[in-house]
């Protein structure tokens, strides 16, 4: 059965897959049954086709046209000489494969699907390929024009392209697919765009310069403002620092005075405690002596009662009594002295207490003054923080404005660079360099010779027919091979009129003599036979006529 594959992973091939109604596999490894028509989604290389021919009776090879492939290489930035060499080498190999396996390999140009009609769809169904006619319209690009110019202004490339077209199975009349009007219009648009980009570039450069000047002025103003704010801040900070130092000194003096007062108060308390302790000791002694006095009075009473009995002891007791009285007087005097001393100590205690209260009041005043100084310092600090925050806000505003201008400047700079890059790409691209010859040849391309187009179609018919053998033709007529002419084109232009045979199976002179009505039309005998003679039942050679007669 038939195997359908592609050599290119192009947009046309993806459309073919989408519109096709045939069994589709992903790759060669997924093929499983050679008895039904199948399509391979992934593109393959030429060397794989010969391996597939071992299992498949017919292979349909879809390919991008010579012009499209060359245009794709030019658009990707490949040098034109390298692109031409690669493309011509590839399609020469494809033609060699087609000639080697003429009966098993069919070539289909993917461009045909853009203009395919019902007859073309029917022709594909005959090989088992059902497909819907839902293809987009192809638009020609500048690179297509460049490729067209390169091919059809060079004899060798033109020969390869003609042979390829001639070897391709025609499912529809492709005609010329080059939209030169659209190409020239796009070139004009590109030129206008380049002019616009250059003007926009100049405007952006001017804007950039203005922004840079504005940014420079703003930076200077910002620096001046920052310097002024910094000077004001330093002056205020210096004044606050001096005030703070004075306040700290005052606080230190007050603290020192307070500590001295505390020390004096502690000493006074110690003296008062010592006086109170001595007073307590004297009171205890006075009490003890008072108790002794009472005890002596009691004894005196006892002695008075026993006076009669103890008269002898009266003088002694009188002496003791006198002594006790003297001691009592002395004790009273001593007690009075102690009482005066106690009063004095009490007054001193009151004075010390008053001094202590006064010291506490002075300490409280010092504490209040310290609080006031701390409040003043806090107020100054708060004022300083407010000023600092205000300065920071101003600084942040200026910084944000500078950042915004820098971002705008960077944006403008990036836009200028992008425009310069795009402009340089356009000016240095092969499209731009080669667009001049495209415009120069545009009129010539529009007026393609219809005879040349007809000759290309007829050459295609010859290459698809088994009655034309290009290898046999070149071997039989070595002068044609030496001239380097395309065999199909030579036969159409000169060979038939010179009596040369296209293959061992067809005799053009015999055909014209046998059918004089064909000779009157002036058509090439083999072309007439392919187009009309086969359907009309005409013979291609006397041998075939003889075999028909015997039959």
515-540 average pLDDT score? 90
Question: For residue 98, what are its two tokens?
Answer: 């087609």
CA distance 303 to 16: 161
Q: Domain residue spans in the chain?
A: 1-176, 191-428, 465-551
Place of tokens 């009151």: 350
Higher per-residue pLDDT: 536 or 373: 536
**Cα separation, 448 vs 176, whole angstroms:** 9
Judged against a pLDDT cut of 50, whether residue 270 lies above it is answered with: yes
Rounded Cα distance between 149 and 80, Å, is: 12
Instruction: State both tokens at 551.
Output: 């039959």
Q: CA angle at residue 31 from 27 to 32, to 5 degrees? A: 160
Residue 435 has pLDDT above 60, yes or no: no
Q: What pLDDT score does 491 carry?
A: 93
- What pLDDT sits at residue 527? 93
Phi, psi for 58 (deg, rounded to 5): -150, 135
Asked whether the predicted pLDDT for residue 253 surpasses 70, the reply is yes
**In whole angstroms, what is the distance from residue 97 CA to residue 29 CA?**
22
Opening angle at CA 110, ends 109 and 114, nearest 5? 120
* pLDDT of 186: 67
- Residue pair 538/510 in contact by the 8 Å Cβ criterion: no
Asked if residue 328 has pLDDT above 70, the reply is no
Sorting pLDDT into bands at 50, 70 and 90, what band is 551?
A: very low
- DSSP per-residue letters across 19-84: HEESEEESSGGG---TTS-EEESS---HHHHHHHTTT-SEEEEEE--HHHHHHHHHHTT--HHHHH
Token pair belonging to 13: 């091939």
When pLDDT is averaged across residues 277-289 and rounded to a whole number, the result is 79
Q: DSSP label at 389? A: H
pLDDT confidence tier of residue 313, bands split at 50, 70 and 90: low
CATH 1.10.287 for the 191-428 domain, yes or no: yes
Above 60 in pLDDT, residue 443?
no
Residue length of the chain: 551
CA distance 322 to 220: 115
**Residue tagged 């594959």 (tokens):** 5
Q: What percent of the chain has pLDDT over 90?
A: 14
pLDDT at 207: 78
Q: What are the pLDDT digits (tens) for 498-512?
A: 999 999 889 999 999
> Which pLDDT does position 40 carry in this prediction?
92
The H or E element spanning position 162 is helix 155-166
- Report pLDDT for 281: 83
Helix (H) or strand (E) holding 5: strand 2-6
**Is residue 528 scored above 90 in pLDDT?**
yes
- Tell me the HSE value of 123 on the side-chain side, using a 13 A CA sphere: 15
Bridge partners (DSSP) of residue 506 are 503
What pLDDT is attached to residue 445? 43
Read off φ and ψ for residue 176, nearest 5 degrees.
-85, 130
Averaged pLDDT for residues 338-366 = 76
DSSP category for residue 99: H
pLDDT given for residue 190 in this prediction: 66
Mean pLDDT of 285-301: 74
CA distance 322 to 296: 11
Q: Name the one residue in this structure whose structure tokens are 């058509």.
A: 523
> Burial, 398: exposed, middle or buried (Cβ in 10 Å; 0-12, 13-18, 19+)?
middle
pLDDT in tens, 61-109: 999 988 888 888 888 888 888 989 999 999 999 998 988 888 889 899 9
User: Rg of the Cα trace of the chain?
Assistant: 64
Contacts of 327 (CB under 8 A, 6+ apart): 289
d(CA 198, CA 427): 12
Token pair recorded at residue 218: 């703003």
pLDDT in tens, 461-486: 888 888 899 889 999 999 998 988 88
pLDDT bucket at 545, cuts 50 / 70 / 90: very low
Mean pLDDT value of segment 527-535: 90
Contacts of 128 (CB under 8 A, 6+ apart): 1, 2, 22, 36, 37
pLDDT digits (tens, 9 = 90+) for 138-181: 766 777 778 888 887 787 888 888 888 888 888 776 654 555 55
Q: Which are the contacts of 242, defined by CB distance < 8 A and separation ≥ 6?
A: none
At residue 539, the 3 state secondary structure works out as coil
How much is the mean pLDDT over the chain? 78
461 and 527 in contact (C-beta within 8 Å)? yes
Per-residue confidence (pLDDT) for residue 447, from 0 to 100: 47
Asked if pLDDT for residue 303 goes beyond 70, the answer is no
pLDDT of 121 above 60: yes
Instruction: Quote the CA–CA distance of 45 and 462 in Å, as a whole number.
Output: 27
Phi/psi at 63 (nearest 5 deg)?
-140, 155
**pLDDT score for 442:** 45
Q: pLDDT tens digits for 175-204? A: 545 555 566 666 667 667 767 777 877 888
- Please give the Cα distance from 185 to 202 (Å, whole number): 26
**Is 307 a residue whose pLDDT tops 80?**
no
Q: Residue 19: pLDDT above 80?
A: yes
pLDDT of residue 473: 92
Q: Look at residue 516 in the predicted model and tell me its pLDDT.
A: 92
Q: Where are the alpha helices (DSSP H) in 429-449?
A: 430-440, 442-446
Residue 156 forms beta bridges with which residues?
A: none
């Amino acid at each position: 059965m038939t195997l359908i594959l592609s050599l290119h992973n192009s947009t046309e091939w993806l459309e073919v897959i989408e519109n096709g109604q045939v069994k589709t596999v992903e790759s060669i490894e997924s093929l499983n049954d050679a008895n039904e028509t199948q399509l391979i989604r992934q593109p393959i290389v030429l060397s794989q086709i010969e391996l597939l021919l071992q299992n498949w009776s017919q292979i349909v090879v879809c390919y991008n046209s010579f012009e499209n492939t060359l245009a794709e290489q030019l658009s990707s930035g490949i040098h034109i000489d390298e692109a031409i060499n690669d493309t011509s080498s590839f399609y020469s190999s494809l033609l060699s494969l087609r000639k080697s396996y003429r009966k098993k390999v069919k070539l289909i140009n993917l461009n045909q699907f853009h203009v395919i009609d019902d007859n073309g769809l029917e022709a594909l169904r005959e090989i088992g390929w059902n497909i819907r006619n839902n293809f987009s319209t192809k638009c020609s690009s500048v690179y297509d024009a460049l490729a067209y110019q390169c091919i059809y202004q060079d004899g060798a490339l033109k020969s390869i392209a003609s042979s390829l077209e001639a070897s391709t199975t025609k499912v529809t009349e492709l005609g010329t697919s080059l939209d030169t009007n659209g190409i020239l219009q796009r070139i004009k648009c590109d030129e206008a765009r380049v002019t616009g980009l250059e003007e926009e570039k100049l405007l952006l450069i001017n804007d950039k310069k203005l922004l840079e000047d504005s940014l420079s002025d703003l930076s200077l103003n910002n620096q001046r403002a920052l310097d002024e704010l910094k000077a004001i801040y330093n002056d205020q900070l210096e004044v606050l620092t001096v005030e703070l130092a004075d306040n700290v000194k005052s606080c230190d003096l007050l603290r020192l005075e307070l500590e001295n007062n505390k020390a004096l108060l502690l000493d006074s308390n110690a003296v008062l405690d010592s006086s109170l302790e001595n007073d307590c000791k004297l009171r205890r002694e006075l009490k003890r002596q008072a108790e002794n006095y009472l005890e002596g009075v009691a004894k005196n009473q006892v002695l008075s009662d026993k006076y009669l009995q103890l008269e002898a002891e009266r003088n002694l007791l009188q002496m003791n009594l006198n002594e006790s009285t003297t001691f009592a007087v002395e004790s009273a005097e001593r007690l009075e002295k102690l009482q005066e001393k106690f009063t004095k100590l009490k007054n001193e205690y009151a004075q010390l207490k008053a001094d202590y209260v006064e010291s506490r009041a002075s300490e409280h005043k010092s504490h209040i003054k310290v609080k006031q100084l701390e409040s003043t310092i806090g107020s100054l600090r708060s004022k300083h923080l407010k000023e600092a925050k205000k300065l920071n806000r101003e600084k942040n505003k200026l910084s944000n404005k500078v950042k915004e201008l820098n971002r705008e400047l960077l944006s403008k700079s990036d836009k200028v660079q992008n425009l310069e890059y795009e402009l340089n790409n356009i000016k240095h691209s092969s499209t731009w360099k080669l667009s001049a010859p495209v415009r120069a040849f545009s009129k010539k391309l529009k007026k393609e010779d219809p005879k040349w187009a007809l000759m290309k179609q007829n050459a295609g018919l010859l290459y698809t027919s088994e009655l034309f053998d290009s290898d046999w033709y070149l071997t039989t007529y070595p002068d044609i091979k030496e001239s380097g002419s395309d065999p199909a084109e030579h036969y159409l232009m000169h060979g038939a009129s010179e009596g040369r045979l296209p293959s061992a199976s067809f005799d053009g002179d015999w055909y014209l003599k046998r059918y004089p009505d064909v000779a009157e039309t002036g058509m090439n005998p083999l072309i007439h036979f392919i187009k009309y003679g086969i359907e009309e039942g005409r013979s291609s050679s006397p041998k075939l006529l003889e075999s028909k007669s015997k039959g």
